[in-house]
Amino acid sequence: MDDPGGWPPFVWVVVALGLGSFVAVMVWLLWRGIFGRSPGWILDSLLLGSSGFVLVCAEIAYISVVANRVPKDWQRLGGYLVLGGVGLPLAWASGRIRRWRIDSRRRRMFGSAKGEFTVPDDFNDPLPKEIEDLFYK
């Protein structure tokens, strides 16, 4: 059966991988949500799914480019180089994103700003009528 859209097989493989990685991430999110929530579990799951998708797409692109042009032994070596060349930057970027996320969530100690702020005595008083009317325009 021919493809009615005329898309090359590579496009269909990428579409299938995209859907497959989406399903895998959703299953991983469900599993982690039910059995083992830890801080950043959603981000970990999304980074894992997207990194896996990018790695597989890069490997498929490499295989489709060198399929009949390079001897099999060289293809294997080149595959390792592609995985390393794409995987290491992905791991580095994932680590940077996780570190940024953890740093932004550092908890502050209660009372660490004691004396720096004062609450005015009229804090709970109603707003003046002209300011209150601005909310209802």
State pLDDT tens for residues 12-61.
Answer: 777 777 777 777 777 777 776 667 666 666 677 677 777 777 777 777 77
How much of the chain exceeds pLDDT 90, in percent? 0
- Of 69, 71, 56, give the one whose Cα is nearest residue 10: 56
Which tokens in the block code for residue 38?
A: 């830890």
pLDDT bucket at 1, cuts 50 / 70 / 90: very low
How much of the chain exceeds pLDDT 70, in percent? 76
- Of 10, 108, 89, give the one whose Cα is nearest residue 57: 10
pLDDT bucket at 98, cuts 50 / 70 / 90: confident
Q: Where are the alpha helices (DSSP H) in the chain?
A: 9-35, 41-66, 72-104, 129-135
Buried residues in 99-117 as b, exposed as e (16+ CB within 10 A)? eeeeeeeeeeeeeeeeeee
